[in-house]
Each structure stands twice: as structure tokens, then as C-alpha cells.
Amino acid sequence: MAAMRAMFEENEKRPEFIKMTKRTLKYIFKIAWKEKKIVYLLFVTKFIAGALGELKLLLLPKLLIDEVEAISIGADVSTHLHNAIIYIAFTIAAEFLSNVLSNIGDSKLNYYSTFFDRILTYELSGKSMEMDFQHTEDPAALDQQNKAKEGISWYSGGVIGILRCFFDIVYNIALMFTSVTLFVFYCPLVLPVQIIGMGLVTYFNYRKQKIAYESFLKLGKINRVFGYYLFEVASQKYGKDTRLYDSSTLMSDRATEYGMESVELFRERATKCCRFDYRSNFANAVRDALSYGYLGYRTLRGLLSLGDFTMCIAATSRLFQSLLGIGRGIQDLSEKCSYAYQFLVYLDYPDALSKGERKVSEGRHEIEFENVSFKYPRSDEYVLKDVNIKIKSGEHLSIVGLNGAGKTTFIKLLCRLYDVSEGRILIDGVDIKEYSEEEYRKLFAVVFQDFQLFAFSLRDNVAMGRADEETNEEKVEEALKLSGLYEDAIKLDKGLDTRLFKSFDENGTELSGGQRQKAAISRALYKDAPIVILDEPTAALDPLAEYEIYKKFDTLVGGKSAIYISHRLSSCKFCDHIAVFSDKTIKEYGTHDELVKKENGIYAEMFAAQAQYYVDVAS
């Protein structure tokens, strides 16, 4: 009774599984058809291989035994011996062909499995790179990304794993009909025994599958955190900090904690699954005893020949295997699809920002912040409050303020990495939400504080072109000259072709902090966008190099609009206006000369404190 109730409860959740299975299958069939139709042919090959194997198992032994039995009861030896030899030849040929076809199918399918793995990985990383920036720090999105990655790979077996499972079901259905037909003719009573046995085993397997899926969902988060502690912080990016702060013990302790949590989860899963394995084994034993007993009884009564008996025994096992195969296959398929479904959920992960269609006009652009306030997602605290500012086209604006004042956040809002919580940002009088994302991003060349260079050649790091776009050599060199990196770059082993970092090339180069920053500035200059934003671009430069950059600033950005965040206030002299961020808003605004004279002004105070550093350099 309790088991029945459990089954009903499980069935109520079934539609969710059916929906996931249907959607995933549709996607998998479509992608297989689009990318490699040949895989369908390979499954047909495997089907034929299987059918030949069944012929060898079911029919040929019966024919052979019937011939031998005929001889043993005194029939014509030469005729029956001749037949027996033909059946033996058929058996050998069927076995051989079945193995050859099966091997061809399997080896090719294994190859295509890797092929599809790559395709799905591209899709996944494409989505990760294109999704709204704010999702990259959203734990829910990151968990989903992890589930997608694991779900579409070894948990589901990918495209080939899922197709293999589907075609196994089709094969087993064909085998089931063949076996049922044999029983209808030879011993129909075995059928209900098989069906009840299969029903029970399927139910027990279904319960096991539910347990496994629930633990997979829990494991997604644990694995992500575990991976972070064990692999990501072990990467070169964190190398200096982990060593200098001796954080390896802390990291390995944390990793062990999460490692134990996943071991515990697996232990719990194994214990629960084991109970259902015992029940399944018992149901199998009862089924065998009843079926074989009944077949033996009919043979002894003379109702079946020895050949029929052999065939029915083989058919009993094939029927059960096929029914079990169908039951398991359906569960396995829905399980695989529910894992792979996480990949589709990730591909469909909703945008956080509304998307507009409007094109950006050519030429110069005026920027306006209108009563802008902002809180980061999942935070209740305002980081910016009532910010109002207009930046005319071609104007150079310097933004200053203490750490945490909201300067970078201001830039992120302007670049629309986040949407404002209140107010509006306008470009040329139009709310930026109305612009098409792709068009809008073309407006900005930004060097963020935490800019990243990639393990490509220096040239590619500057040009960052798409594979189908040709790099403009002259422009790359010009950008490197303007940022002051050119002289260093041509001295590298392979010049501009030198790969950065040593991750993929042992001859790769590690640029100094200052050189990296110059490379990032070159990248922004190469983009040649109408609005240039430099967020503390000179922090890693020595005062002389910094001064050189400032002197060239007008040439660097030409007549474009420029926004420039710096802690070194000497740079502000080069700008048309200065906005001083404090208390979550713009507290002072004006030219350097105006602000420096302001009594008790924040800027004046900051400038006085720093001025001494630069007197010698600038003079």
C-alpha cells in the first residue's frame, strides 16, 4: 500500500520529467541532424548488428537442435546433417557480421561523441561570454553554469550518449515484439510473469534514479565551491597572493570541508540506492523460477520440442532483457535528459537587462546622468544616490574620490553592465536602455582597473579582432607607440607575435605591471571608439611613465569624449572638468583651477596632500 502511494506521488511529479525529456530530445535530434547526419546511419548499422546477434541467439540454435533431434529419432541423416551444417555456417556468419558492424558503429560513434562534446562546449562558453555581465557574479547563474557543464557532459553522455540510449529503447521494443510473438505461439502463460517482474524492477530503478538526480542537484553547488578552492585558487592568477599570504592551508582546509560534504552526499546516495537493488534482485529470482519451471513442465509433457524449449528459454531471457531494457532505457533516457536539460536552462538563462533595438548615431556623443541611483543586485544599500552630470561631446572628464566612493560603479552603469535602480542615463538625449546592446558597446573603449590580457599574442591582445576580421597592422603599431609599449614590444623574441603568459607557450612572455597596463591602453586605442574610459590606467606605472601618458593624453584620445578615473590628481589638470565622488554622489564639480581654490573643498585637500609627489617630475 505504501509502495502504491509512493508510486502515485512520484507520478504526480512525472510531467516535469516528461517535459525535460521531450525538450532535450528535440534539441539533441536537431543538433545531430544539423551537424552530422551520419550518426543516424551508424545507429542503423548497430541495429542490424543487434538483429543478427538475436538471430544467432534465438532462432539458429532451435533450428540446429531440431535437426539433431530428428537424427536422434531415426530421420534421414544426410538431409538433416546437411541442414545442420548450413545452420552452423549461418550462426558463424551472423556472429562475425554482427561483431564487425557493431565495432564499426561503436568506434565511429565514440569519435562523434568527442565532436559533439566540443560543439556543446563552444555553445556553453559562448553563452557565458555573452550573458549579461551581472550574471557573472550571481551565485544562481554560476550554479546553473556548473550544472549545465556537468549535465551535458559525463552525467548525460552528451549528444551520442542520449541518442545511444534512445536507439537502445527502439531496439529493445523491436526485440520485445519478437519475443512476445514467440511466446504467443509457444507458451503464452510466461508473459504475465515477465510483465509483473519487469514492472517491479522498473519501479525500483525509478526510485533509484530519483535519489541520484536529487543528489546531483545538491552536488552542483558543492562542486563549484570545491573547484574554486582546489583548482581556481591554485591557478597562476592567485599564485602571488596565496604564497605571500600563506593561504594554502586555509584553501586546503576549505577544500577538504567541501570534499567531505560531497563524500557524505555520495555515501547517503549509495545507502539509499542499495535498498532498491536488493528488492530488484529478489523480484528477478522469483521471475526466473516461475518461467523456467513452467517451460520445463510443458517440455516434459511433450507440448514443446527440445528446440522449442531452448528457443523459449532464450526468448524468456530476451523478453525480460528487452522489457528491462525498455524500462531502464526510459528511466535512463529521462535521467540523462534531465541532466542535459540543465544545459538548455543555462542557454535560455534570462537576460537581466532589457534589450533595445535603437542604433547609435554617428559622430560625437553627449552623455547625461539624470538623478541616477544604484544598488548592486542582491544588495539593499545604495552605492550611488542622485547622481546628475552632463558630459559634453569631446569633453575630458576626470573622476576622483576615495576608494569605494562609486567611481567604477559609475563607469559600469555608463557601459550598461548594470541597469540603474532609479533615474536615467541618456546618450544624445536617448535613454541608453533603448539602444541595441551590440551597437551601444561599440561606443566605448574602456580600460578597467582589473582589465585582463589573454594568453594570445600581443598583437591579438591589442586588436582583439574577430577571426573573420583582418588585423590592421599599422593601427596596432600606432596604438603601441602611443601607449609607449612599442619599443619594448619589438624587443620581444617574436616581436608582436610573442604570446603573453606561459599557460600555452613556454616561450610566452610575462609583461611587467606597467607594460600590461600599456598593452591594455593600446587595446582601447586600437578600438578607436568615440568614448574613451580609463579607470586608473596608470596605477602600475612609475610617475615618469605616468606623466608621459598624461602629456600625450590629448593625442591619445584625440577629440573624443574621455572619462578618466585616477588617484593621482596631477592627471586632472589635463581634463576639462573634474567630478569629485563622495558620500555616494558627486560632491564637487568644476575645473582644476576652480576646485583647487575651493575653501575646505575635498579636491583641494586631496590635491594639497598629493601635490608634493609630482612637483619634481612635472617641472
- Give the footprint of ligand ADP on this chain (CB under 6 A): 137, 376, 379, 383, 401, 403-409
Query: Distance (Å, rounded) from C-alpha 191 to C-alpha 117?
Result: 42
Please, what is the minimum distance in Å from the beta carbon of residue 418 to ligand ADP? 8
* Cβ closest to ligand ADP, residue 114 vs residue 610: 610
Instruction: Assess contact for 206 and 3: CB atoms under 8 A.
Output: no
* SS3 of residue 470 by DSSP: coil
Please, what is the minimum distance in Å from the beta carbon of residue 375 to ligand ADP? 9
Maximum Cα interatomic distance, the chain, rounded to a whole number of Å: 126
Please, what is the minimum distance in Å from the beta carbon of residue 533 to ligand ADP? 12
Please, what is the minimum distance in Å from the beta carbon of residue 413 to ligand ADP? 9
* Cβ closest to ligand ADP, residue 379 vs residue 619: 379
Please, what is the minimum distance in Å from the beta carbon of residue 436 to ligand ADP? 25
Long-range contacts of 17-23 (CB under 8 A, 24+ apart): 17/334, 17/338, 18/334, 20/334, 20/337, 20/338, 20/341, 21/333, 21/334, 21/337, 21/338, 21/341, 23/337, 23/341, 23/344
* Cβ closest to ligand ADP, residue 310 vs residue 566: 566
Instruction: Assess contact for 413 and 426: CB atoms under 8 A.
Output: no
* Cβ closest to ligand ADP, residue 121 vs residue 449: 449
Cα Rg of the chain, angstroms: 36
Please, what is the minimum distance in Å from the beta carbon of residue 242 to ligand ADP? 22
Please, what is the minimum distance in Å from the beta carbon of residue 469 to ligand ADP? 32
* SS3 of residue 559 by DSSP: coil
One DSSP character per residue, 486-552 reads HHHHHTSTTGGGPBBSSSS-TT-B---HHHHHHHHHHHHHHHT-SEEEEESTTTTS-HHHHHHHHHT
Please, what is the minimum distance in Å from the beta carbon of residue 215 to ligand ADP? 31
* Cβ closest to ligand ADP, residue 308 vs residue 588: 588
* Cβ closest to ligand ADP, residue 76 vs residue 137: 137
Residue 94, amino acid: A
Beta bridge partners, 578, equal 398, 590
Terminal C-alpha separation, the chain: 93
Q: Provide the 10 A C-beta neighbour count for residue 587.
A: 15
What backbone phi and psi angles, to 5 degrees, belong to 456? -110, -175
CA atoms within 13 A on the CB side of 59: 15
* Cβ closest to ligand ADP, residue 362 vs residue 381: 381
Q: Provide the 10 A C-beta neighbour count for residue 389.
A: 18
One DSSP character per residue, 174-233 reads HHHHHHHHHHHHH-TTHHHHHHHHHHHHHHHHHHHHHHHHHHHHHHHHHHHHHHIIIIIT
* Cβ closest to ligand ADP, residue 204 vs residue 374: 374
Query: Distance (Å, rounded) from C-alpha 557 to C-alpha 574?
Result: 12
Please, what is the minimum distance in Å from the beta carbon of residue 376 to ligand ADP? 3
With 0-12 CB in 10 A as exposed, 13-18 as middle and 19+ as buried, what is 43?
Answer: buried
Residue 554, amino acid: D
* Cβ closest to ligand ADP, residue 405 vs residue 532: 405
**Cell (9 digits) for 35:** 551537424
What phi-psi label fits residue 424: left (phi over 0), alpha (psi between -120 and 50 degrees) or beta?
beta
* Cβ closest to ligand ADP, residue 407 vs residue 518: 407
Please, what is the minimum distance in Å from the beta carbon of residue 490 to ligand ADP? 35
Please, what is the minimum distance in Å from the beta carbon of residue 389 to ligand ADP? 15
* Cβ closest to ligand ADP, residue 522 vs residue 566: 566
* Cβ closest to ligand ADP, residue 56 vs residue 412: 412
Please, what is the minimum distance in Å from the beta carbon of residue 408 to ligand ADP? 3
* SS3 of residue 367 by DSSP: strand
